[in-house]
Homo-oligomer: A and B are copies of this chain.
Amino acid sequence: MDTKQKILDEALTLFSEKGYANVYVADIAERVGIKAPSLYKHYKSKQAIFDAIIDEMNKRFEQQAQALNINGSDATADSEIYKNMSEDALLELGRQFFLYFLHDDYNKRFRKMLTIEQFNNKQLADIYTKLYVDDPLTYQGALLGMVASAGLLHTDNVEIMTLHFYAPIYYLLTVCDRDPAREKKALKTLDEHIKQFNRIYGRNK
C-alpha cells in the first residue's frame, strides 16, 4: 500500500478509537512508519487527512449501496428473487446485513468515528443518519414490501414492519460496537429476533 493511502488507513483506525482531537499527527506518522514532518508532504494538514477519509468513505459507500441496491433503482428487478424467498432467506438477509456491517473493517472503523464525532460535526451526523437510519429502512422496506405484496408477510403498515425488523439489528450493532464480548450472545438474539419476526408477520403461516 502506498504511503498516502496508509496514512488514511492508520488515521481512520486512530480516529475511530479516540476521536479526532485525541489523535496527534505524530501518532499517525508513527503507525505509518515515518516522522510527523514527512506526513505533511502527503497532506497539508491534519484536517486534510480527516477530509480525505470522509471523501474516500463516501465513494466506498456509494459503491456499496450500488452493490446492495440500496438506491432502490433496481429494486423491482429483484422482485422475483424476494417473492420466492425460502423460509429461511429472511433470516439470512438479516444475519448477513448484521455481520457485514459489524465486521467489515471500513464500516466498523468509520461507524465508530461517526459515533464519536456526530455531535461535533453536523456533516458526520448526516452521514450517520443516511448510512444507519435512512438507507437501511429504504432498502429493507423495499424488500419487505415486495415480500408482503407477494402475500408472504401480512401487515397494513410496511414502514413499521420494517422498523420492527431493523431496529433490533441496529440495537445489537451498537451494543457489539460498545462491547465486542457481547457478539456471541447478540448473534443468538438476532436469530431469535428474526424467527419471531417471521412468526409474527406471518412467513410461517
Choice from B128, B155, B164, B177 contacting A164 with Cβ under 8 Å? B164
A163-187 vs B, CB cutoff 8 Å, 1 = contact: the mask equals 1101110110011011100000000
Q: Which residues of B contact A170 (CB under 8 A)?
A: 167, 171
Choice from B120, B159, B163, B189 contacting A19 with Cβ under 8 Å? B120
Choice from B167, B171, B178 contacting A125 with Cβ under 8 Å? B178
Binds B, one of A58-66, A75-83, A95-103, A111-119: A111-119
Cβ-defined contact, A189 with B168, below 8 A: no
Choice from B157, B168, B174 contacting A174 with Cβ under 8 Å? B174
Cβ-defined contact, A118 with B171, below 8 A: no
CA–CA, A21 and B117, complex, Å: 12
Number of interface residues of A (CB under 8 A): 40
The answer to whether the Cβ of A160 comes within 8 Å of any Cβ in the partner chain is: yes
Interface centre among A133, A155, A160, A193 (most CB of B within 10 A): A160
Closest residue of B by beta carbon distance from A155 = B196
A196 to chain B, nearest CB (A): 5
The answer to whether the Cβ of A88 comes within 8 Å of any Cβ in the partner chain is: no
The answer to whether the Cβ of A52 comes within 8 Å of any Cβ in the partner chain is: no
Cβ-defined contact, A196 with B164, below 8 A: yes
CA–CA, A126 and B182, complex, Å: 12
CA–CA, A18 and B116, complex, Å: 10
Choice from B120, B126, B171 contacting A163 with Cβ under 8 Å? B171
The answer to whether the Cβ of A92 comes within 8 Å of any Cβ in the partner chain is: no
The answer to whether the Cβ of A22 comes within 8 Å of any Cβ in the partner chain is: yes
Enumerate the 10 nearest inter-chain pairs by beta-carbon distance, A residue then B residue, closest first: A21-B21, A167-B167, A167-B171, A167-B168, A160-B196, A21-B22, A125-B178, A160-B192, A200-B200, A170-B171
Additional pairs, 4, CB under 8 Å, beyond known A112-B119, A164-B164? A115-B119, A129-B178, A159-B192, A170-B171
